[in-house]
Amino acid sequence: MASNPFAGFAGRISQFRQAFGNTRTVDPKLVPLVAGVGLGVLLVCALVGVLTGYPVLGTVAGVSLGLSGALLVFGQRASRAAIGSIEGRPGAAAAVLQSMRGPWLVTPAVAFTRKQEFVHRVVGRPGIILVGEGSPARVAALLRQEKRRVARVAGETPVHEVSVGDGDGQVPLRQLQMHLSRLPRALKAGAVGPLETRLSALGTSDPPLPKGPMPRGRRG
């Protein structure tokens, strides 16, 4: 039986409509911003086209660039809304980490407490990043403990510690992806996988993370 070539497209449209509806519910500025960017770019391109004697070309370019700009703004606002919807919940940092694009290998809850403090391990081009969430004092102790554990196989690889939160010295959840992406590179791309393999040999306990969908989106 032949597959429907429009099934995938229809599915993406349905996902987009759902994401748009969910984001608009919590972000009243979404529609004005998306529409303003799209129309603004279109008008600027059309005006440039008229002034240069290519009104049709300017309009066509404006439609394309305006749509791209509107989608970019929507993606950023949708990602921010998704992160905001889970902020403060146990395991929120793990969800944000697992939605990152690129060569990031994430192992949730490599260390945790009964009071739902967690340390998640990320391996990427900057090296090893230990990300803690929960009570700052207990998270600091967990981070120190896990850093000593990974040091056995880390060798010369840098080990970064990140505490998620809004206090002094912490990284807000909405800025977590950006913070990691700005860390200095220390590993070649081909070294990320083998390092994670060595670290996985340390083993982990079954993490008591809440089940549920992960927020998806672009880097915040």
* pLDDT, tens digit, 9 for 90 and up, residues 30-87: 888 889 999 999 999 999 999 999 889 989 999 999 999 988 888 777 777 777 777 7
CA distance 49 to 68: 18
Matching residue, tokens 């060798």: 155
Q: How confident is the model at residue 189 (pLDDT cuts 50, 70, 90)?
A: confident
Q: E-assigned strands of the chain?
A: 105-112, 118-124, 127-133, 159-164
Mean pLDDT to the nearest integer, 17-28:
74
β pairing state of 105-112 and 118-124: antiparallel
Residue 3 pLDDT: 53
- Contacts of residue 211, Cβ cutoff 8 Å, sequence gap at least 6: none
Q: What residue type is 213 in one-letter code?
A: P
* pLDDT, tens digit, 9 for 90 and up, residues 127-165: 999 999 999 999 999 999 999 999 988 889 999 999 999
Matching residue, tokens 């089940």: 211
Q: Classify residue 44 as exposed, middle or buried by CB count within 10 Å of its CB (0-12, 13-18, 19+).
A: middle
